[in-house]
Structure 1
Amino acid sequence: MKASEIREKSQSELQKELGELKSELFKLRFQLATNQLENPMKLKDVKKSIARVRTIMKERELKGT
């Protein structure tokens, strides 16, 4: 997910997206531990998406909107 797509979402949508990404990361880590993960790069992508969402949420918090 790109930062421009994330910036278009509302704060509540970002909260929901963050929750979904965290649950996906949990599932991927579980698959990695049980050697069922087919694409290890998916972990990296999900982590970056979580960081992007958190960064934009923090920017909005500091901005006060």
Structure 2
Amino acid sequence: MKIDEIQSLTAEELKQQEAQTGEKLFRIRFQKSLGQNEGLKNLRELKKDIARIKTVARQRELGHATAPTESTKPAKKSRKKKDA
């Protein structure tokens, strides 16, 4: 999952996506412990996805990033011309 897709999710969708990704990661780890090697390439990618989701959630919590429902355009500053 790309960071742009993650940033476009709402807070509730982030929680759901984190839970789903965690469940997939658990299943792959379980299969690995049983000796099945299918899907091991997804292991690293799932771990990265969870980290991305948690990062976006934390950024929003700290106020560094905005939720998708809020306006993402920066406010324009008016500049006054100085008369010489």
Query: TM tier, shorter chain?
Result: over 0.9
Give the Cα separation in 2 of the matches to 1:23 and 1:37: 18
Q: CA deviation at 1:38?
A: 1.1
CA distance in 1, matches of 2:46, 2:53: 11
Equivalence for 1:9: 9
Unaligned runs of 5+ in 2: 67-84
Which has the higher Rg, Structure 1 or Structure 2? 2
49-58 vs 38-47, greater mean Cα deviation = 38-47
* Residue identity in the other structure for 2:51: A
TM value normalised by structure 2: 0.73
- Which range is displaced more, 36-45 or 1-10? 36-45
For residues 5-62 of structure 1, the C-alpha deviation after alignment (integer angstroms, 9 at most, x for no partner) is 0000100000000000111110000000001231321100000000000000000000
Pairing of 1:1-65 with structure 2 (within 5 A): 1-63=1-63
Q: Tell me which of the two structures has the higher relative contact order, counting C-alpha pairs closer than 8 angstroms and 6 or more residues apart.
A: 1
* Structure 1: 5+ residue stretches without partners: none
Q: How many residues get paired?
A: 65
Length-normalised TM-score, structure 1: 0.93
Give the superposed CA RMSD. Answer: 1.3
Sequence identity (%): 37
Structure 1 outlier segments of 4+, above 2 Å: none
Q: Which amino acid is the alignment partner of residue 61 of structure 1?
A: E
